[in-house]
């Protein structure tokens, strides 16, 4: 259980570091994304965007699995 919490925490850290570059794609502005200021620094917890991107990755993986010739 603690491993999954650590993986999610590290994933959110990496995602938040990439967020300024991904803002052009609309990431961080979906319902469910939390924006706030902490010690004068704007912070974003992209929960809604994370769900959307993980669903997209799942669909791509399923399509690749269905079309794989060597599987």
Q: What is the pLDDT along the chain (71 residues), one digit of tens a residue?
A: 688 788 878 877 887 788 777 777 766 677 888 888 889 888 778 788 788 888 888 998 888 888 876 66
Tell me how far apart the terminal alpha carbons of the chain are, to the nearest angstrom: 31
Task: Quote the domain boundaries for residue 34.
Answer: 2-67
Token pair of 50 as six digits: 């994370």
Residue 27 near residue 46 (C-beta atoms within 8 A): yes
Residue 47 near residue 31 (C-beta atoms within 8 A): no
**Predicted local confidence at residue 28, as pLDDT:** 64
Total domains in the chain come to: 1
Residue 19 near residue 44 (C-beta atoms within 8 A): yes
Segment (H or E) for 33: strand 33-38
**Predicted local confidence at residue 62, as pLDDT:** 87
CA distance linking residue 34 with residue 28, whole number of Å: 8
């Amino acid at each position: 259980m603690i491993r999954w919490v650590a993986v999610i925490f590290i994933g959110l850290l990496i995602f938040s570091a990439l967020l300024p570059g991904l803002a052009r794609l609309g990431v961080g502005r979906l319902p469910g994304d939390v924006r706030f200021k902490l010690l004068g620094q704007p912070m974003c917890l992209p929960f809604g965007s994370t769900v959307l991107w993980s669903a997209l990755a799942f669909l791509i993986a399923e399509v690749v699995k269905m079309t794989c010739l060597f599987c």
